[in-house]
Amino acid sequence: MTEAILTASHLTKQFVTRGDGAFIAGTTTFTAVDDVSFEVPRGGTLGIVGESGSGKSTTARIVAKLIDPTSGTLEFDGVDVTRAGAKALAAFRSNVQVVFQDPFSSLNPRHTVEKIITAPLDYQRIAPKGGTRALVRELLERVGLNPDHAQRYPAQFSGGQAQRIGIARALAVSPKLVICDEAVSALDVSVQAKVITLLTSLQAELGLSYVFIAHDLAVVRQIADTVAVMSRGRIVEQGDRDAVFERPQHEYTKALLAAVPKIDPEWELRRARMLAEEGAGA
């Protein structure tokens, strides 16, 4: 196993809901994340899969330090950041960035692309060496957008392009770890494939590590090196991608894999042969 860039140990998050004063008395405690431990391989991708209510998004928010865990520890790059103060948190934020699900609701519609992409830099008071303009151009080019479109607004882009802007913003502070929370779920399948290809090539170029959270098992299979399967706040199974997908041990993982709709393998095989023959003929 390669060295871990992020280590989560026994993370637990409980939410306390107060009674409504009329029908429900007292308080109830809900454990959204229950004793969860995992490692993110440096330069690799940890995929977290689960259905709604599995606790995967709460886990993502803990790892991004948007919320604090009730107990457990989070270690980034060898440093315990669980109770990081303002200064340590600022350093953490320049190393860890998030790409969210809905590109349009996570981009300010009144800001230009340039302003959106440089917001993390302003927030952290970082002045890029070659100037902001040059950095924005470079980032747009890197994510496959036209660098001349820096002064445009989010509404002028398609969903896939908007998600590329979200990725460019995450890359602005040169992070080591990017958390993708259902980052391709809202996209059409052909667009989704392109964004996944982009994420993979950025990882190779920049040595990024990813936490890739998704409900779609097939998408996780494409991008993850290691996989954790969550159900009801717990990790029921985790390990090497191929091991989890090809030799699932836990009943829940098996049920989840069985439920994924698949195209008749015979049809697929016939198409593959047809394409291979056409390729040979061309």
Partner 1 sequence: MSLASPRTISIPVPGATLLEVEHLTVTFPTSAGPVDVVKDASFRVESGDTLGIVGESGSGKSMTSLAIMGLLPRGGTATGSIRLNGHELLGRSDREMRRVRGDKVAMVFQDPLSSLNPYYTVGLQIEEAYRAHNGGSRKNARNVTIEALERVRIADAARRVDHYPHQFSGGMRQRIMIAMALCLEPDLLIADEPTTALDVTVQAQILELLADLQRETGTGMIFITHDLAVVSQVAQDVLVMKDGAHVESGTAEQIFSNPRAPYTRALLEALPRIVDPFDELKGLSR
- Binding residues for partner 1, per CB under 8 A? 51-52, 159, 188-193, 196, 215-219, 221-222, 245, 255-276, 279-280
Work out how close the CB of 132 gets to partner 1 at its nearest, in angstroms, rounded to a whole number. 33
What is the smallest separation between the CB atom of 272 and partner 1, expressed in angstroms?
5
Closest CA to 153 of 115, 100, 106: 115
Minimum CB–partner distance for residue 215 and partner 1 (Å): 7
| Residue 141 or 277 having the CB closest to partner 1 | 277
The letter for the amino acid at 16 is V
Choose between 96 and 219: whose C-beta lies nearer to partner 1. 219
CA distance 126 to 154: 24
Task: Tell me how far CA of residue 90 lies from CA of 83, 84, 219, in angstroms.
Answer: 13, 9, 32
**Considering beta carbons, is residue 128 or 159 the nearer one to partner 1?**
159
Give least dist CB 281 to partner 1, A. 13
- Adjacency order of strands within the sheet including 27-41: 27-41, 4-18, 71-76, 79-80
Classify residue 11 by burial, with Cβ atoms within 10 Å: 0-12, 13-18, 19+.
buried
**Please, which residue, 18 or 270, has the CB nearer to partner 1?**
270
Nearer to partner 1, 119 or 193 (CB): 193
Contact 63, 92 (CB under 8 A): no
Q: Which is nearer to partner 1, 155 or 218 (CB)?
A: 218
* Residue showing tokens 């590109």: 103
The span from the CA of 175 to the CA of 246, in Å, is 33
Q: Measured from the CB of residue 52, what is the shortest distance to partner 1 in angstroms?
A: 6
CB of 103 to partner 1, least distance (A): 13
